[in-house]
Structure 1
Amino acid sequence: MSHNEIISNWFERYGNDIYHFLIYRVGPTDAEDLLQEVFIKALKGFNGFKENATPKTWLFSIARNIAIDESRRKKSKKWADTIPIDTSNEPKTNDSPETILDFNEETKAIYQCIQLLKPKYQDVIILRGIKELSVQETARILKWSESKVKSTHYRAKKALHEELRRCFSYEEIKSPRTIR
């Protein structure tokens, strides 16, 4: 199988996860372009891929580095208001429209607060809490030890909780379901 075919397969398999990571990290306007950049870099650097890492963690590492570069270029986090709310993973219920609206507002508030955290906290919250990657996968992507992932994830959740508390009253945020 050629490099192009392998990267194409990886795109079909992991592209959606990488795209969501980029949305959380840099916003929806740039995510699609950066997704293409991730796979272009993967194709160009294919010979540097080490089999001891999974393709998924290698691609997330590339995406993270590209997101960091993009954030440095933009030097702005004003796009937090445009983060889409993806409730496709939420269980379908027969809730009233008011309950659904409350959930969407609650979720949007959590995502906005994530954007106020330090970049390393954002990374670990997105990878562990939202994308539900294992400690080992997250450690490989971030090039951290597993204990650093665990402790940073704990601190990030605590910081997010404090940010939610500061920005919104507890009455507005009934149960932060996405904080894991």
Structure 2
Amino acid sequence: MSHNKVIADWFERFGNDIYHFLIYRVGPTDAEDLLQEVFIKALKGFNSFKENASPKTWLFSIARNLAIDESRKKKTKKWAETVPLDVMNEPKTNSSPETILDFNEDTKAIYECIHQLKPTYQDVIILRGIKELSVEETANILKWSESKVKSTHHRAKLALQEELRRCISYEEVKSPRAAR
């Protein structure tokens, strides 16, 4: 199979997961462009791909490196305010508009809190907690040991809980709606 067909197959299989990772890491406005860049880099670097690695972890590694570069370029960007509702996992039931609005506000708050964590915590929270990758896959992507993934994931969850508490306390003071 040609390199182009292999990369096209990988795009079909892993493109959506990588796109969601990039949304969490850099925001929706840059995620689509970076997704294309991931697969362009994969095509250009196809000969450097080692068959003993998983294509998924290799592509996530490329995406992570591009996200780090993008974050460095736009350190002060606040993307959480621009997250479109269709990107979020809205309730699938026939919920009332108020329930959907509350859900989306909570999801935005979580995005904002994740974005406040240090980059290594963001990576491990997104890969392990949101994308539900295994410890082994996460270790391969981050080029860490499995024990480091486990301990950093634990610390990241604690940091996220603390950040969520801080954000919720701030929102309750700022918004009378949150006090309901």
Matched with 1:32 is: 32
1:114-153 superposed matches below 5 A: 114-153=114-153
Matched with 2:77 is: 77
Q: Which moved more, 1:120-129 or 1:93-102?
A: 93-102
Matched with 1:42 is: 42
Matched with 1:157 is: 157
Instruction: Identify the structure with the greater helix proportion.
Output: 2
Structure 1 position 33, deviation (Å): 1.1
User: In structure 1, what residue type is equivalent to 2:137?
Assistant: E
1:151–1:40 CA distance, 2 compared to 1 (3 A): same
Matched with 2:93 is: 93
Q: Which moved more, 1:133-142 or 1:70-79?
A: 70-79
Matched with 1:103 is: 103
Matched with 1:52 is: 52
- How many residue pairs end up in the alignment? 172
* Contact 1:83-1:111 within 8 A present in 2 as well: no
Structure 1 position 87, deviation (Å): 4.2
* Contact 2:80-2:108 within 8 A present in 1 as well: no
Give RMSD over aligned pairs. Answer: 1.9
* Contact 2:91-2:100 within 8 A present in 1 as well: no
1:76-107: per-residue Cα shift (whole Å, max 9, x none)? Answer: 2322222345444x663343332222111111
What secondary structure sits across from 1:133 in the alignment? Answer: coil
* Contact 1:25-1:67 within 8 A present in 2 as well: yes
User: In structure 1, what residue type is equivalent to 2:56?
Assistant: K
Structure 1 position 13, deviation (Å): 1.1
- Unpaired runs of 5+ residues, structure 2, are 173-177
User: In structure 2, what residue type is equivalent to 1:27?
Assistant: G
Q: Determine the C-alpha separation between the residues in 2 that align with 1:38 and 1:11.
A: 10
* Contact 1:115-1:122 within 8 A present in 2 as well: yes
Q: Which moved more, 1:91-100 or 1:52-61?
A: 91-100
User: In structure 1, what residue type is equivalent to 2:97?
Assistant: P
Matched with 2:175 is: none
Q: Which moved more, 1:24-33 or 1:119-128?
A: 24-33
Q: Determine the C-alpha separation between the residues in 1 that align with 2:127 and 2:54.
A: 15
- Unpaired runs of 5+ residues, structure 1, are 174-180
Moved over 4 A (4+): 170-173
What secondary structure sits across from 1:78 in the alignment? Answer: coil
* Contact 2:121-2:152 within 8 A present in 1 as well: yes
* Contact 2:124-2:138 within 8 A present in 1 as well: yes
* Contact 1:14-1:56 within 8 A present in 2 as well: yes
